[in-house]
Structure 1
Amino acid sequence: MADVKTGYNPLFLREEELRQAMELLFFAYRDFTRVPDQILAKHGFGRAHHRVIYFVGREPGITVSELLRLLQITKQSLSRLLSQLVREGFIQQSPGAQDRRQRRLELTEQGRALERELSENQRRLIAAAYREAGAEAVEGFRRVMLGMIEEGDRRRFDRREGQPESGAGPRRLTR
């Protein structure tokens, strides 16, 4: 059904509307990663390092195999990234409690500080855009983004009283 104010009907997307959405994603990603890229460059890191730092910070105790599945990169690539991040003191590894062969990952204090620095500008950008767009647009954006990611990853964002699905999202290690 067409929007009364604009005459726009989202059920019939034209080529131009799809192209504009693609460009918006390109520009948004460019601006979203600009400041973190500058910070990462100071450490000799790239965006892959950022993703590892982000998800290890988001899910303390994540196993290497869980991180591999999440990032969908090769074992060799992740090994190279983790080796550097561990060697430089940003991530620590520990064996699993039940399975000693598992490697559980956690940010060090230095890693947490870097993750905060990398995420600060990104959180500000998202918060400002959300405030400007309003609650209905935020939910619409969420649904669009969910529609673009693989079905298996969507489960991370299932809502149960506003929280990530059990077993997804931030976890805390029990010691």
Structure 2
Amino acid sequence: MRATPLAVTALAAALLLTACDSGGSDDSNGTGKGGDACGIDQLGVEVGPANAAPAAGDTGNIPVSVTNQSSPCALDGFPGIELNAGDKSATVPAADGAKPEKLTLAKGDSVTFTLTYVRGGTSGAESLAAKTLRISMPGAGDDEKSFPWTYGPVALKGGEPDASVGPFTHAGD
């Protein structure tokens, strides 16, 4: 009879489709599912070298490299970025239209993200005289690392930094 081979074929197709999970990253490029959130204390973080904005109104880009120095962990979301000017601090938002991808890092794996900013003037309410860059990892609580900000004042737009942070990508992508 013809019904049995058709039923077997349909079942095989259904099982094959079930095995193809489109809801996450694949393991072909070192990413995958699972793992606890990467804590900043288990990561080596290097800021720069930067393509700093030379004058007010110019745009600068600061690459940040992150390397897992411990057991496998996951990055799911955007890095947390805060610029601190001593008496004032501001959170840098994610880049418009950017979509983060969940990445799992094995020990020794590296990823990067880019912080883009517009340089502000040397004084006034339209600039944040940032002194410190604070970086935290998504899903890892309040842990953060601080780095000196040596790229000049950051322009403000509506009281918020004219800056954005991009998603994590594997180093070399």
Q: Which band: TM-score by shorter chain?
A: under 0.3
Query: Which structure carries more helix by proportion?
Result: 1
Q: TM (normalized to structure 1)?
A: 0.22
| Greater fraction of residues in strand | 2
